[in-house]
Amino acid sequence: MKFEKLIGERFKEKPADAIIQSHALMMRGGYMKQITSGIFSQTPVLRRITHKIEQIIREEMDAIDGQETLFPVVMPATLWQESGRYDSIGNELIRFKDRYDSPMVLGMTHEEAAVHLVREYGQTYTKYPFMIYQIQTKFRDEARPRGGLIRVREFTMKDAYSFHTSQEDLETYYDKCYQAYKRIFERAGLPETIAVASDSGMMGGKIAHEFMLLTPVGEDSIVICSDCDYSANLEAAKSIISNESTNAIEPLQKVHTPNAKTIDDVCNYLNLPTIQSCKAVVYQKVETGEYAVVFIRGDLDANEVKIRNHLKCEIHPAIIDDNSELCAGFLGPSNFENVTMLFDESLKGISNLCCGANKVDYHFTGFNIERDYGKVDYYDFAKVIENGICPQCSNASLEISRGIEVGNIFQLGDKYTRAMGMSYTDNNGDTMYPVMGCYGIGVERLAASVCEVRHDEFGPIWPMSIAPWQVHLCCVRADDEEAKAFADELYKQLQEARIEVIYDDRAVRAGVIFSDADLLGVPIRIIVSPRNMANNCCEITTRNKAIRTESNSSDVIANVQKMIVELMG
Amino acid sequence: MKFEKLIGERFKEKPADAIIQSHALMMRGGYMKQITSGIFSQTPVLRRITHKIEQIIREEMDAIDGQETLFPVVMPATLWQESGRYDSIGNELIRFKDRYDSPMVLGMTHEEAAVHLVREYGQTYTKYPFMIYQIQTKFRDEARPRGGLIRVREFTMKDAYSFHTSQEDLETYYDKCYQAYKRIFERAGLPETIAVASDSGMMGGKIAHEFMLLTPVGEDSIVICSDCDYSANLEAAKSIISNESTNAIEPLQKVHTPNAKTIDDVCNYLNLPTIQSCKAVVYQKVETGEYAVVFIRGDLDANEVKIRNHLKCEIHPAIIDDNSELCAGFLGPSNFENVTMLFDESLKGISNLCCGANKVDYHFTGFNIERDYGKVDYYDFAKVIENGICPQCSNASLEISRGIEVGNIFQLGDKYTRAMGMSYTDNNGDTMYPVMGCYGIGVERLAASVCEVRHDEFGPIWPMSIAPWQVHLCCVRADDEEAKAFADELYKQLQEARIEVIYDDRAVRAGVIFSDADLLGVPIRIIVSPRNMANNCCEITTRNKAIRTESNSSDVIANVQKMIVELMG
């Protein structure tokens, strides 16, 4: 198409609210327009990119026997009540009533709809395994949309659901999908995406992986071992802390620690290393308001997800009011009524701890948990630290990186099929519940992620596979009759050769033409100009500047066709 | 793909709630599953059909310089307040609040979002004209979903919006789009679709057309002239009634008409022809509750849409309570306070009418409107009747048919751009509001409409252009080794030839194979059987039974390829 007919505006200035490059560059390039927080319209440039991503995903899903379906955006609450999620999910799930006062929800994921669609179909074991997927709009009422298309409220998602008669079969298919995901990210231009073990969160089930694109601007923390292939989301990574026991057990002493507000203050004041201290982190159960206190070594942080999974309920950081018997800031192990006491493994084996004495401005020293509090069970509640011990190779070689989650896969078990009464008769005539896997990719986030790691200061550098066009034809000096006529003819030939081309023949300065082309990020650029005409050639360059060549005018189409094939990889 | 892996169930029995064939056959064929009233999930069979329809639409929109975008399903109420439709549209518009208590709506159409996307882009006249479109999920909370996919609450819609600097330019583009729609329906297998003038309803604007598929099960009434090319939706069709004046003006008489409840009762009792009577039809304005009485010739019906357009407000049939001064059943022209009196053109020129005397059990005869009530303006409020006068050729040749609306196009004028402050500077430097057109097609309804007119008692007969597969390969007697091996090989070859094939190699009776194939409605069927094998051939038939041939085994692929090309038309 002609550049001058392309709707959307391009800007020189970075938008004030853009804190990451993909957001800034895609706004500057007129890829989308925000309607309200976390909700965007897509212009034709972005829509062309998302179409190509969708098609890559579709091909890879079809290649692992996926069958494309379409589930509704709006579903009756009754369906979500069957699975229990109508009540268990918070206000990211939009709930409303229809004209007949029936409660409805907006689909933020479609396990319930998937089970509904195949509940009767899957009644005998011979139908298994099968996988169904859709590419459809999702709405999640995120509390804090951010980063342009990275975290939004409405987005296009490919969500797939597989059904199996055994855990073993699920695992076989899960691995197939894992490989398909690797291919999708590679084809979309993100071969560096890694898969990390993750927490399955609200989805239920046990085994889950996230596909992470490592970038400093990512909002997820990922633990990676530099000595082996271990990797996990920080939320799911096991923390291993070993303590050497000190020999001499000291007596318990209550000491006055005025103005010591933090664990560092206390340790400084008492001249003790932080790893000799025991910190209390307090949470509250959402439903009951009951407190749960996690004791952890003073130098470590608590991992809220691990605590939530242990308690099997929703929690939030505690608000300790004046009526509570908990003495905020000076909390130590003690038996309070209706308070759960949890101990992190990092405290195991440390003698003579310093900890709160449950009295304002007082701490204990020489606290030995078993002697002074009692026998306790230790669990892993800590966040992994830089240079922590790898749970796989046992070296102190864990590194923490930031990443964007570009996809995820979950083994769901029979959580949904059991809750929603989807069963089948096995070959012994017994009634069984199928096990499920689910597999998601956010389309717009994937596009933005590619931009995040494939750009320069002038704009995105789209890989050929998802670029909005394959070729950007620039006629520099459209006022020059000869150049314009040649470019017009080239445009025609490129179209006839079925090459996706955007043609800029505006009578504007070359600088404007090129900076706009940079913002569109089309991989191959052809430059027609009077100077080139004089030499009977065109310049052909790539957006990533790897190639900068001249082509004899008569060979342009053939040369470009060859480049397209090469750049498709 | 293999038929036995295809999810979805097929049924012999027509579902109890299906009153039209497309609904019954598509349910029996496992095309979709209802989740709740008017909301369906699509199985892979239907999704393949809708994909093809979407692609046809996309190609035709691109061919008239459409640029594909994507607008959000969820929009802030503020956007709809800008246009005024947040308040003017009834409860078919879903309204809810997000987690921050901001009012939101579900997109049932996207004029507001379209204007929002291009409001800044379109600030100079040089940018015009342009057209943007999307293919996206819509939700309309219909009061009475019916007919399977014909009238639903959630559906996929192609909605396009064009922007112009003059009415003339809009009309030129409108005609282009009209022609594109003709091509879309032709390509999708509905060449018989006709365009009829329609009322523009809530969309605003004046000129509008609906594309109608004539079928007795349609829910719209269409007026077609059998002598010329005039056609219109019944709601929009002009009613022309000519009355011959009688010579002798009679005196006004109030007569007792006991037990005369209807206009027919009264005319029978008084021995007058119905066309000599004046009927009162009473509406109420939704906002104020005020009455509006329409007087119309006794043999005709009032057209609510015409009355609404005349009054420029929402109305509903009146509920006349005992406190009202309106004497229900005996209402005649008179001056009531706060009641609007409207007169249909059918009353013009009739002398000596019979009409209500505004007193229970009494009517007037010899009522002459000008003499007995006063001078009035007559407007067209009547529904066109069978054999009515054509407003184009003036013959009494109007026929009324039923149809399904498969698409619509509207000239919107500047209703939205003016309300939402989208303006441009013209070549004189003046600030102007662009005029818009909008153009819709419902994807699933189009699929169902094709089925409605292309089926037999055994299932749908899909046109090649939108069929879920091109070829249905049936191996009859899969237990026969030779037949199975040949069919397997043919399946492989068909896939290699990039022919879309579904392969039924189930070890079931031939009758089951064929009845399931009938329900899938795939245009070309290849039958491999031991009997055919003995003759070194395959049977090739078309679903519409037009072709039933045998092909030498070695020529099957070539023959099928040729048939596909022919059937694509």
Preferred mutation among A5, A9, A27, A36 to probe B, highest tally of B CBs within 10 A: A36
Whether A186 and chain B come into contact, CB under 8 Å, resolves to: no
Instruction: Judge whether B297 and B263 are in contact, CB under 8 Å.
Output: no
Find how far residue A46's CA is from the centre of its chain: 20
| pLDDT for A498 beyond 70 | yes
pLDDT of residue A376: 94
> How do residues A57-70 score in pLDDT, each as one tens digit?
999 999 999 999 99
Question: Residue B496 contacts by C-beta under 8 Å, 6 or more apart in sequence?
Answer: none
CB contact under 8 A, B7 and A136: no
A437: burial class by Cβ within 10 Å (0-12, 13-18, 19+)? Answer: buried
Range list of β-strands (E), B381-498: 398-413, 424-425, 431-432, 435-442, 455-456, 459-460, 471-475
CA dihedral B524, B529, B535, B536 (to 10 degrees): 70
pLDDT of residue A213: 96
Closest among B394, B320, B334, B343 to B362, alpha carbons compared: B334
Preferred mutation among B55, B58, B73, B501 to probe A, highest tally of A CBs within 10 A: B73
Predicted complex ipTM exceeds 0.95: no
What is chain A's alpha carbon radius of gyration, rounded to the nearest angstrom? 29
Which residues of chain B have a pLDDT value below 70? Answer: 200-205, 245-247
- What is the value of pTM for the model shown? 0.91
Nearest chain A Cα to B104, which residue? A36
Looking at A328-434, list the stretches that DSSP marks H as alpha helix, in order from N- to C-terminal side.
369-372, 415-419
A341: burial class by Cβ within 10 Å (0-12, 13-18, 19+)? Answer: middle
The mean pLDDT of A299-311, rounded to a whole number, is: 92
Whether B394 and chain A come into contact, CB under 8 Å, resolves to: no
Peptide bond into A391 cis (omega under 30): no
Of all residues in chain A, the percent with pLDDT exceeding 70 is: 98
Whether A36 and chain B come into contact, CB under 8 Å, resolves to: yes
**Identity of the amino acid at A209:** H
pLDDT of residue B201: 57
Per-residue confidence band for A205, with pLDDT thresholds at 50, 70 and 90: low
| pLDDT for A472 beyond 70 | yes
pLDDT of residue B92: 93
Nearest chain A Cα to B110, which residue? A41
> How do residues B476-525 score in pLDDT, each as one tens digit?
999 999 999 999 999 999 999 999 999 999 999 999 999 999 999 999 99
CA dihedral B512, B515, B518, B524 (to 10 degrees): 40
The mean pLDDT of A127-134, rounded to a whole number, is: 98
Of all residues in chain A, the percent with pLDDT exceeding 90 is: 87
In whole angstroms, give the CA distance from residue A484 to residue B178.
34
Whether A42 and chain B come into contact, CB under 8 Å, resolves to: yes
> B117 CA to chain A: closest CA distance, Å?
7
What count of other Cβ atoms lies within 10 Å of the Cβ of residue A259? 7
Residues of B with Cβ-Cβ distance to A44 under 8 angstroms:
67-69, 132
DSSP string over A193-243? -EEEE---GGG-SS-EEEEEEE-TT-SEEEEEESSSS-EEETTTPPP----
pLDDT of residue B200: 62
pLDDT of residue A201: 57
Question: Residue A261 contacts by C-beta under 8 Å, 6 or more apart in sequence?
Answer: A329
- Share the mean pLDDT of chain A: 94
pLDDT of residue A235: 85
Min mean pLDDT across A155-164, A269-278, B316-325 is at B316-325
Phi (first) and psi of residue A462, to 5 degrees: -75, 140
What count of other Cβ atoms lies within 10 Å of the Cβ of residue A515? 15
Find how far residue B346's CA is from the centre of its chain: 29
Whether A41 and chain B come into contact, CB under 8 Å, resolves to: yes
Whether A69 and chain B come into contact, CB under 8 Å, resolves to: yes
pLDDT of residue A61: 98
**Identity of the amino acid at B386:** E
pLDDT of residue A337: 87
